[in-house]
Amino acid sequence: MKIPFPRQLFRPGPSLTFHSTAASQAQRWSSSLSQKAGSAGVCFPGAVNSKFTNAMTFEQPSTYPAIPTYRCTSPDGDIIDSSVALPSNDVALKMYENMLAVSIMDMIMFDAQRQGRLSFYMTSQGEEGTCVGSASALEDGDVIFSQYREAGVFMQRGFTYEEFMSQLFANGKDNGQGRNMPVHYGSKALNIHTITSPLATQIPQAAGAAYALKMQHRQNPSTRPRVVACYFGEGAASEGDFHAALNIAATRSCPVIFICRNNGYAISTPTLEQYRGDGIASRGIGYGIETIRVDGNDIWAVREVTKRARELALKDGGRPVLIEAMSYRISHHSTSDDSFAYRARVEVEDWKRRDNPITRLRKYLENNNLWSDEKEANARKRLRGEVLKAFGEAEKEKKPPLRAMFEDVYAELTPEIKAQMKELKDMLDRYPEEYDVTEFEGGKESLST
Amino acid sequence: MRVTRRICSYSRAGLSNTTAKPVASYVSTQSPRPYSTNPPKARLNIPTDFSTTALLAHRPQTALQNNELPAEVRNGTTQQMNLFQSINDALSLALASDDSVLLFGEDVAFGGVFRCSMNLAEKYGAERVFNTPLSEQGIIGFAVGAAAEGAKAVAEIQFADYVYPAFDQLVNEAAKFRYKDGKAGRDVGGLTVRMPCGGVGHGALYHSQSPESLFTHIPGLRVIMPRSPIQAKGLLLSAIASKDPCIFMEPKALYRAAVEQVPTAAYTLPLSKAEILKDGFDLTIVSYGHPLFTCSSAIEKAEKEFGISIELIDLRTVYPWDKECVLKSVRKTGRCLVVHESMVNAGIGAEVAASIQEDKETFLRLEAPVGRIAGWSVHMGLLYERFNIPDVARVYDTIKRTLEY
Ligand SMILES: Cc1ncc(C[n+]2csc(CCOP(=O)(O)OP(=O)(O)O)c2C)c(N)n1
Ligand SMILES: [Mg+2]
């Protein structure tokens, strides 16, 4: 006999369904009640709803249908799930502009890196929909953890061009104090934690943060309940931290939305060498987490799914939800990567032609008489101008004071670090020709204690 | 530098990878470096000229003169290689000579983000050279298991900054494997963990780290850092052959920059043995990896200006390290500086300095305190790398003050 539950749940359909193990969860006891003789069920504490069987069968992953991919907008921009609550025209237009802005900024900054004007950049071509769409469904108070390819999330939340550019040029206006590599954005005002490069570390942090938010709301019910949204790639999901995160979030019922951007690649490694299961979504089921797979090129589907996930995450005291957003990484991994060393140019061209979150939303807007070629041309020109203006200003800006190198390691400078700062200052004083400190705010003087 | 070199022929068709297009690293080692410029009037802090530095063998005869090489290698040929090519060469020779060698890690199959494994999957098959899923603890745990069952597992961690998820496997498993098994007699000597380390000018917090001291605190691991293509090839082949698990740290700033003539044949260089790169009588500088080039430049200036001679020692293996070589040198010179890139606190310099003062005979010979020139006790902020990693001026200045003490 085959265990029927996943089959029943994995029924593909046009409607938005989260795959859930809630039913089995609800009946799970922590105590080990011994079963009656002859009962059909097993009461092992580790699997309370399992039935006995005398037919020995190994579960065959290949016999389970793949988890379907939800979409509500056709490639032609028509709405195919009428139950979806679409945003107002103004919001739709703003979201379109935000995707456009990310793609324009990507082109400009990619070229700027090629010209040697900044050290590094990462584009998010093909994933603008996943980021802008999901962020549009969150509330301002919600806390976000991201990986590095989520410029759309920052854009949708209101990160300004000046903030983007200050970070990219590591100037004195950058909160990161010139310490971080380009694209490691962060904003306390927007409740987005600063990005770090080590993969997957943010995922268990998101679970913990969600637990803290849950406890705060419990202790102070007059506050608005909040969730944590956590972004990561399908490659990062191979890290131990991913698995630890899902499991701990499930067991502690944390209001966290895990959003996996499955773009088919982790640098050169294709998903075929990354995992053998049904994507990342199938793992959610394994951890007892409500899960959905969504078409990342369909911004309305991503938005709708995230809205629903947010409701679920806050229901009955909180629980994690997993969203797997499917897309294709059109761009190179980063400016340090030439992806044609490991994938065919035609594969990329093919995907570019096939689908794209920006063109799909554009078709929707055009179908609704909200957009035109002329508006497109004007918007592109305006956005380009805005990005370039911020670019020019940020590039000219002074770098942070040199002292920032030593600060924030500890809440206060330790005697050791103070001595080192003095030692460096002393070197700069005695060997002025060996060091150029003019780009730093205040030159060497900021090192004086 | 004091060396006499024997002339030898230079042949062998170019390695397949010498002409290949550089591609695909997360942090490039060759892209524009807007954050590291040198001031126009600098006479000390000028970038290393790798085409003339005495630390690299620019001619075949220089490469082959090396006393540590067996005679048949010295009578052989050389090939011009940079560091990633010599590592590729070592890996290729290891794979070719021993079927139990496996090579794996993130993005290794297409050549690795730093090109060290280029063409090896094609040459030795996808069963022996392969991509792993993105999980460092998985990679190292897998490697420990494979080594425990007879494989020579050469695992790549894409950046030293990303080795931490594998710490448990390295510290609790690999390092203690032989010890816990006791008379049962099993070990994971077949394990070699390779990882690029160190600054490149724009790597910031998570693409610049040099965590060797975290490993040198762990008995059971052999921690190696080569300074050059010749050294990398011989030390890597030794690490793979070693009966102990080895951490092999590759200064990524040297992958493309350090180019020299490398003996074509397979050869090993001794582990846990330092090398005196240059004799001297007034001061000893102990270093390893990339900063050796900085030391070499500072020494050149200081010797000329102060009329002294300085001994330069490359530790090569930073643990278990060649204490005897260092002590002997310091007993001769009476002064010692230790230079490394990673943070000064609890670094290699602390161990070397403590060992010097602990040795009565050496202590009594000291004419100045042992100095440490190392990274400050801070993280590697993007814009601040050139103020953090020891530069020629700091080494020069410390030499001067040590002499004046
Ligand atoms: C712990 C860790 N290991 C390795 C890396 C190097 N690295 C940076 S990005 C990347 C691939 C990530 O792929 P994925 O999670 O799918 O995200 P994508 O780039 O596709 O958006 C790797 C291996 C890292 N940053 N951190
Ligand atoms: Mg990916």
In a domain, B187, yes or no: yes
Q: At what angle do helices A161-168 and A89-114 cross, to 10 degrees?
A: 20
Total residues found in chain A within this entry: 449
Q: Which residue has the higher pLDDT, A383 or B23?
A: A383
Q: What is the average pLDDT across A205-221?
A: 97
Q: Which of B156, B173, B202, B207 is catalytic?
A: B207
pLDDT (0 to 100) of residue B32: 45
pLDDT higher than threshold 80 for residue A195:
yes
Q: Which of B228, B263, B298 is the last residue of a domain?
A: B263
Question: Is the same domain home to B219 and B342?
Answer: no
Distance from CA of B364 to the nearest CA of A (A): 28
Distance from CA of B340 to the nearest CA of A (A): 15
- Per the rule left: phi > 0, alpha: psi between -120 and 50, beta: everything else, A32 is beta
Residue ID of nearest Cα to ligand 1 atom 21: A233
Q: Do A337 and B131 touch (CB under 8 A)?
A: no
Q: What are the E-state strand segments in A27-182?
A: 69-70, 143-145
Q: Do B379 and A338 touch (CB under 8 A)?
A: no
Residue ID of nearest Cα to ligand 1 atom 20: A266
CA dist., res. A339 & res. A270, Å (int): 11
In a domain, B2, yes or no: no
Question: Is the same domain home to B242 and B318?
Answer: no
Question: Is the same domain home to B314 and B252?
Answer: no
Using CB atoms, which residue from A238, A404, A409 is nearest to B134?
A238
With beta carbons less than 8 A apart as the criterion, state whether A53 and A320 touch: no
Torsion of CA A65, A71, A75, A76, to 10 degrees: 140
In a domain, B343, yes or no: yes
Query: Residue B151 maps to which CATH number?
Result: 3.40.50.970
pLDDT (0 to 100) of residue B178: 98
DSSP state letter for A187: B
Taking CA atoms, what residue in A is nearest to B39? A436
Q: Which of B202, B232, B263 is the last residue of a domain?
A: B263
Tally helices (H) and strands (E) across chain B: 16, 14
pLDDT higher than threshold 50 for residue A12:
no
Q: What is the average pLDDT across A384-409?
A: 98
Question: Is the same domain home to B220 and B285?
Answer: no
Question: Is the same domain home to B246 and B307?
Answer: no
Residue B77, token pair as written in the block: 């040929």
pLDDT higher than threshold 60 for residue A408:
yes
Lining ligand 1 with CB less than 6 A are: A 149, 197-199, 233-236, 261, 263, 265-267, 329, 333; B 26, 106, 134, 136, 158, 162
In a domain, B122, yes or no: yes
Q: How confident is the model at residue A407 (pLDDT cuts 50, 70, 90)?
A: very high
pLDDT (0 to 100) of residue B262: 98
* List of chain B residues whose C-beta atoms are within 8 Å of the C-beta of residue A417: 376-378
| CA diameter of chain A | 89
Q: How confident is the model at residue A148 (pLDDT cuts 50, 70, 90)?
A: very high
Q: Pairing mode, if any, of strands B101-105 and B129-131?
A: parallel
With beta carbons less than 8 A apart as the criterion, state whether A105 and A151 touch: yes
Q: Do B391 and A434 touch (CB under 8 A)?
A: yes
Find the distance separating the first CA and the last CA of chain B, reported in whole Å: 26
Q: At what angle do helices A299-314 and A89-114 cross, to 10 degrees?
A: 110
| Of A240, A295, A283, A246, the residue nearest A68 (C-alpha) | A295
Q: Pairing mode, if any, of strands B317-319 and B310-314?
A: unpaired
In a domain, B109, yes or no: yes
Active site residue B207: yes
Tell me the best of A150, A153, A184, A199 to mutate to test the pocket of ligand 1, counting ligand atoms within 8 Å of each CB and taking the most: A199
Question: Is the same domain home to B238 and B281?
Answer: no
Cβ-proximal residues to A90 (8 Å cutoff; 6+ apart), any chain: none
Distance from CA of B291 to the nearest CA of A (A): 17
CA dist., res. A302 & res. A259, Å (int): 10
CA dist., res. B30 & res. A280, Å (int): 35
Find the distance separating the first CA and the last CA of chain A, reported in whole Å: 76
CA dist., res. B164 & res. B182, Å (int): 27
Question: Is the same domain home to B134 and B213?
Answer: yes
pLDDT (0 to 100) of residue B73: 97
pLDDT (0 to 100) of residue A35: 60
Active site residue B290: no
Residue with token string 């999980």 = B135
Residue ID of nearest Cα to ligand 1 atom 12: A266
Q: pLDDT tens digits for A16-62? A: 888 765 544 544 544 445 566 677 777 788 988 889 999 999 999 99
Q: How confident is the model at residue A389 (pLDDT cuts 50, 70, 90)?
A: very high
B363 three-state secondary structure? helix
Of A47-51, A142-146, A151-155, the one with minimum mean pLDDT is A47-51
In a domain, B17, yes or no: no
Q: Which of B263, B287, B307 is the last residue of a domain?
A: B263
DSSP3 helix / strand / coil % (chain B, rounded to 5): 40, 15, 45
Q: Write out residues in chain B with pLDDT < 70, as ranges.
A: 1-37
Using CB atoms, which residue from A266, A402, A433 is nearest to B42?
A433
pLDDT (0 to 100) of residue A5: 39
pLDDT higher than threshold 60 for residue A388:
yes
Q: For chains A and B, what is the number of CB pairs under 8 angstroms?
A: 187
Q: Ligand 2 being an ion, which residues bring their Cβ within 5 A of it? A: A 233-235, 263, 266
Q: Which residues pair with A253 in a beta bridge?
A: none
Q: How many domains does chain B have?
A: 2
Share of chain B above pLDDT 70, in %: 91
Q: pLDDT tens digits for B298-314? A: 999 999 999 999 999 99
Question: Which ligand minimizes its atom distance to the CA of A266?
Answer: 1
* List of chain A residues whose C-beta atoms are within 8 Å of the C-beta of residue B346: none
Q: pLDDT tens digits for A229-260? A: 999 999 999 999 999 999 999 999 999 999 99
Question: Is the same domain home to B110 and B239?
Answer: yes
In a domain, B25, yes or no: no
pLDDT (0 to 100) of residue B38: 81
Question: Is the same domain home to B286 and B379?
Answer: yes
For residue A369, the number of C-alpha atoms closer than 13 Å in the C-beta half-sphere is: 0
Distance A310 CA to ligand 1 centre (A): 27
B230 three-state secondary structure? helix
Concatenated DSSP letters of B3-30: ----------PPPTTSSSPP---SS-SS
Query: Residue B372 maps to which CATH number?
Result: 3.40.50.920
Question: Is the same domain home to B298 and B151?
Answer: no
In a domain, B22, yes or no: no
Q: Pairing mode, if any, of strands B101-105 and B152-156?
A: parallel
Q: At what angle do helices A89-114 and A373-396 cross, to 10 degrees?
A: 50
Structural domain harbouring B197: 60-263
Q: Which residues pair with B103 in a beta bridge?
A: B129, B154
CA distances in angstroms from A10 to A5, A15, A285, A291, A322, listed in the order given:
9, 12, 11, 11, 15
Question: Is the same domain home to B224 and B250?
Answer: yes
Q: What is the average pLDDT across A364-375?
A: 98
Q: What are the E-state strand segments in B39-132?
A: 78-82, 101-105, 129-131
Return phi, psi of residue A197, to 5°.
Answer: -75, -35
Mean residue pLDDT of chain A comes to: 93
Q: What is the average pLDDT across A151-175?
A: 98
Q: pLDDT tens digits for B218-248? A: 999 999 999 999 999 999 999 999 999 999 9
Q: Angle at Cα A366 formed by Cα A365 and Cα A372, nearest 5°?
A: 110
Kindly report whether the global pTM for this prediction surpasses the value 0.90: yes
| ipTM of predicted assembly, 2 dp | 0.93
CA dist., res. B266 & res. B261, Å (int): 14
pLDDT higher than threshold 60 for residue A6:
no
For residue A10, the number of C-alpha atoms closer than 13 Å in the C-beta half-sphere is: 16
Question: Is the same domain home to B259 and B137?
Answer: yes
Q: Do A181 and B204 touch (CB under 8 A)?
A: yes
